[in-house]
Amino acid sequence: MNSRTCSVLSERRSIRNFKREPISDGVMQELMELCRWAPTARNSQSYYFIVIKKPEIIGALSEIRGPAKPIGNAPIAVAICGDPEKSRRFIQDACIAAYHFMLASWCLGLGTCWIADMDRPEVKEMLGIPKEHYIATVTPLGWPEEVPPPPPRKPGEEFFRTIE
Ligand SMILES: Cc1cc2nc3c(=O)[nH]c(=O)nc-3n(C[C@H](O)[C@H](O)[C@H](O)COP(=O)(O)O)c2cc1C
């Protein structure tokens, strides 16, 4: 196993606090390139990303889920969406693309945090997303202020059941 490459899987953490430093266009281009490679049903590529830099919109998105405000702490928020016209597996495609985005971001030194329950009419209206589309998450994106220690995980044996 190439543990240098695989460490992205074990060392990625959910980041909720970010430095004020902006993210350059060059880094965003690198991220965009990596995000082309998420798997999708029948290679439909039914997912898409909306990159939000406008502070007023970031502030409004941050308010939607109540007092925990990781989105509001970041210079950028990204909505990761699925288009039902491109695939009937658009929900799975969007969720996988979201995790792919989180791992790609981590590879570039950036932090993200999955924020649940953002598939809401008011978010779609704010971002100009058609109502039939699915929003897997809206994640904050930025340079981590710090990387928290890993929350405990169950041992591998508890996740795996083998049928022989
Ligand atoms: C489906 C899903 C929903 C989540 N929702 C939230 C959320 O709404 N707010 C938040 O701060 N973190 C959220 N998280 C992040 C989890 O709390 C985090 O992944 C978990 O505690 C493990 O920590 P780690 O990502 O650093 O390994 C969510 C993660 C997933 C996969």
Under DSSP, is residue 82 helix (H, G, I), strand (E, B) or coil? strand
Ligand 1: which of 8, 18, 62, 113 to mutate, judged by most atoms within 8 Å of the beta carbon? 113
Q: Indicate which atom in ligand 1 lies nearest the CA of residue 151.
A: 23
Q: How large is the greatest C-alpha to C-alpha distance in the chain, in angstroms? A: 56
Radius of gyration from C-alpha coordinates of the chain: 16
Say whether pLDDT at 1 is over 60.
no
- Quick one: pLDDT at residue 84? 98
Which residue, chain included where needed, has tokens 């502070």?
A: 55
| 53 alpha carbon – ligand 1 mean position (Å) | 22
Token readout for 161 is 């059941």
Domains of the chain: 12-145 (3.40.109.10)
Instruction: Enumerate residues 6+ apart whose C-beta is below 8 A from 28.
Output: 51
Give the per-residue pLDDT at 2.
Answer: 55
Q: Does residue 114's CB lie within 6 angstroms of at least one atom of ligand 1? A: yes
pLDDT in the model for residue 159: 95
Give 4's pLDDT tier (boundaries 50, 70, 90): low
As a whole number, mean pLDDT of residues 98-109 equals: 98
Residue 69's pLDDT is: 80
pLDDT given for residue 48 in this prediction: 98
- Which pLDDT score, from 0 to 100, does residue 3 have? 55
Task: Answer yes or no: is the C-beta of 115 below 6 A from any ligand 1 atom.
Answer: yes
Per-residue confidence (pLDDT) for residue 6, from 0 to 100: 84
Across the chain, what does the average pLDDT equal? 95
Per-residue model confidence (pLDDT) at position 65? 87
**Residue 148's pLDDT is what?**
98
- 17 three-class SS: coil
